[in-house]
Amino acid sequence: MECFFQLALSGVPFLFRVGVSIVTFCRRQILNATSPEAALEHLHHPSSVWLLSTPDSFLSLVHAVKMKDDDIRKSRIKMEALVKKQVQSQASRHVPIATTISLPLA
């Protein structure tokens, strides 16, 4: 419940800190994952063994995550460029076949 209150109070930056905290807890399992699907499974359903024992201790860790706005902006720019590059490479592989439409003559 406290997480929802903090989210309403702080907004997206708090949510970002929660995500970074979960990745921190699951880091070892993510790095040892044998496939992207396995890594995502660790993030979607982290084991309670990896997380802190109480919600208050988890929130303390979340509030301890320090990120500068400039670091987030730089990461966003890099991620956008990477996604754009991937989309362009996929588009070049899937060249659409030209189709013609025959219309009746008037």
Give residue-wise pLDDT tens across range 3-34. 667 767 777 777 888 888 888 888 888 889 88
pLDDT number for residue 64 = 83
Q: How many domains does the chain have?
A: 1
Give the pair of three-digit tokens for residue 25: 């807890």
For the cut 70, the answer to whether the pLDDT of residue 102 exceeds it is no
Cα–Cα distances in Å, from 82 out to 11, 59, 69, 73, 89? 26, 32, 20, 14, 11
Domain carrying residue 62: 2-67
Domain membership flag for residue 92: no
Model confidence pTM above 0.75? no
**pLDDT (tens digit per residue) in 37-87:** 988 888 888 877 766 677 778 788 888 887 777 777 777 788 788 888 888
Domain membership flag for residue 81: no
Domain membership flag for residue 85: no
Where do we find the tokens 């997206």? 12
Domain membership flag for residue 12: yes
Domain membership flag for residue 102: no
Between 97 and 92, where is the model more confident?
92
